Amino acid sequence: MKIRNRKTIKAGLVLIEKKWTSLIIIELMEGPIRFKALAKRIPEMSEKMLAQRLRELNSLSIIERHVSKYRPLKVEYKLTQKGLELAVSLNSFSQWTDKWM
């Protein structure tokens, strides 16, 4: 089997191997979620680190941050199309680990 582009594979692995990134994406697979609810789903992660990872994923267009127009302001995070495609890959990887690890 020939690998098409080692550079892009390496870049993708660097992204998902960052601590907490995969868990955030997995949680967002269930749909849009508010910051505090996401923090409760990953209690081992500090809110500071969660905010940092969300900003990074947003800057890479993997997630989208939506702020409501109404008071009180409500901020939700959800996967973009790019993020959904990454989530599919993570799900396939999860199936592989279930089978072989």
7 pLDDT more than 90: no
Tally of CA atoms within 13 A in the half-sphere of 66 that contains its CB: 13
**Residue 14, number of CB atoms within 10 A of its CB:** 10
Write down all domains in the chain, each with its CATH number in brackets.
Answer: 34-95 (1.10.10.10)
pTM of the shown model: 0.85
pLDDT tens digits along 30-63? 999 999 999 999 999 999 999 999 999 999 999 9
Predicted local confidence at residue 1, as pLDDT: 66
In percent, the amount of the chain with pLDDT more than 90 equals 67
- Split at pLDDT 50, 70, 90, the class of 5 is confident
